[in-house]
A and B are shown apart, each in its own frame.
Chain A
């Protein structure tokens, strides 16, 4: 009887030991593989943002601003959403016709997103999600996949570098000869602009005119890039906090005299009329060019833009 009483606990203890031994020495191979493949992404500009992935992200969903920047490094999305996907000023000559669209402008089809089972979603925003979604949509978004926000740096150079870090993490080829070449082109374009501005007093306004007022971009990265090359940037002072655009009432527009006005999204088909706009010397002299506060954050994009600005500076008269 006593033997029987001891037998049962002994058997249970042996079974527990055996189970424990199996657990410690014979772990699930899939789990082991997963642990080995796990990667951690550290955001280049958001200090506290680290995202753990079970493996190298492969299935990617991006907004079009992200794709315009990451395309250069060969990072391709499985689906796109967001603003300006048809805007050639943002997308350049990137062909997006073969890429699935799961949202347009401010909306996204969360069911389609979930069906794709993406490894990561990349776009303009912050740790909490995409800039233009509210909290509830972002909560759904981040439950489907981790969100990698595009970087937000002080200068164009820093932002290009940070974007490249993200591209590298996502498997992009950031060390190719082509990338080295466009970096060189960017430097050359910067030098050319510096030479064109040397000894000249050229005032440039980066603007976005609207019916109610003129918005100007003093203090923006793009303004700083031109300023660094020797241009004088004019426009309304940016507000101390909040929306960074300077607001200039139309009556005050002529108080910020510019030789050249760069208009956001300016190009073929761009149209704007307002009596006081048309009286500005740069508009009358047709010394207008383009710029963009959003879009491809790449050396290629900025090399092309600076080349355009240089041509404009070289042909512009002093009208301010």
Chain B
């Protein structure tokens, strides 16, 4: 199967989706709905793990007591309210954002091997943070967030502008190439600055690895409206993306406006990926992995892929983060753990595609 096209089975499945809601395929609809429950349960387990697992072992009952009865004088209560709860909220928000951003990215480029990083979002966010630290006297972690968010947004707009203007506009491969090329250029700029500003490298080391540590709850909540807006736009775009997945010509024939759909979806991707990167730093593979797992479970319907990605991505992120907290004496940033998980998964995916191509 060519990576940018759907298989005949998937196309049949997609074509049947319109009918299923009118009652022709109630079993499929029921099966998909039923699948949400175990996924939601797994997500809940991962969030509980994020609350209960840490470098300092605290009995679950103590965590619960501290969560329900905040006491600034109590050390356990402080740990729960200043570390465990903010990290869990961040896992949920950043995970959902990365998962849905990945699903959107794969849908809009019709390429299942892309994630928000391919769009250059991470590189743009990183360059903005590097620039802020090196040239604008940024010194505080809380300032990283807005610089990173601005960098991600500007990069997304640039990629869209390059990918959708001029001849052959509308080709999804072109947007992917624009993202890859711009990402490479921006990474080059970051490297150039870091090479001669070692203190910047030192200061952004933790952020650039992708970590949920030391992010205050207030800061995460500041970014939450952007992520929620992105999720709403994504939810409203699912039908249009289903149409777009049939190809531009078919989409136009069905009365859709592919360019307009892409523009709206790109706004959602920028809000989601920019928000997640701003809050937790660049975390790879979640945006690639979650939609893939979702597609394996529910097929090619964008609405269901996104619904499942919203649950799968925080599950993976939460488990990876909890694992990172206990792997070493200090802590392994979650971005490093997801890379370790992601690399074999990616290799598995590549092998799977080869087999299906054959």
Contacts and interface: CB of A to CB of B under 8 A. Distances in A.
A213 interface: yes
A250 B78 CA distance: 12
B197 A105 contact: yes
A104 interface: yes
A83 B200 CA distance: 12
A212 B198 contact: no
A275 B195 contact: no
Contact of A213 (B79, B198, B331): B331
B214 A276 contact: yes
Given A212-B209, A249-B331, A273 B56 contact: no
Contacts of B195: 105-107
B141 A274 contact: yes
Nearest to A246: B329
A271 interface: yes
A249 B56 contact: yes
A140 interface: no
Given A212-B331, A213-B330, A249-B55, A273 B78 contact: no
Contacts of A246: 329
A279 B77 CA distance: 12
A236 interface: yes
Contacts of A104: 196
Interface residues of A, dominant DSSP: loop
B108 to A, nearest CB: 32
Contacts of B141: 211, 272-274
B330 A275 contact: no
A68 interface: no
Q: Sort chain A's interface into a size bin.
A: 20 to 34
Contacts of B82: 275-276, 279
Interface in B69-107: 75, 78-79, 82-83, 86
B328 A212 contact: no
Nearest to A210: B206
A167 interface: no
A271 B56 contact: no
B330 A236 contact: yes
B329 A236 contact: yes
B213 A211 contact: yes
Contacts of B55: 249, 251-252
A254 to B, nearest CB: 6
Which of B139, B203, B213, B325 has most A Cβ within 10 Å? B213
Interface in A195-222: 210-213, 215
A237 interface: yes
Interface string B123-151: 00000000000000001111000000000
Contact of A275 (B206, B216, B329): B216
Nearest to B84: A251
B79 A251 contact: yes
Contacts of B329: 236-237, 239, 246-249
Nearest to A270: B139
Which of A83, A246, A247 has most B Cβ within 10 Å? A247
A289 B45 CA distance: 43
Interface string B189-201: 0000001111100
Closest 7 CB pairs of A and B: A247-B330, A212-B206, A249-B55, A211-B206, A274-B214, A275-B82, A271-B139
Given A272-B141, A273-B142, 14 more contacts: A87-B199, A210-B203, A211-B213, A212-B205, A215-B330, A236-B330, A237-B329, A247-B330, A249-B56, A251-B54, A251-B83, A251-B325, A254-B78, A275-B214
Interface of B: 54-56, 75, 78-79, 82-83, 86, 139-142, 195-199, 203, 205-207, 209, 211, 213-214, 216, 325, 328-331, 333
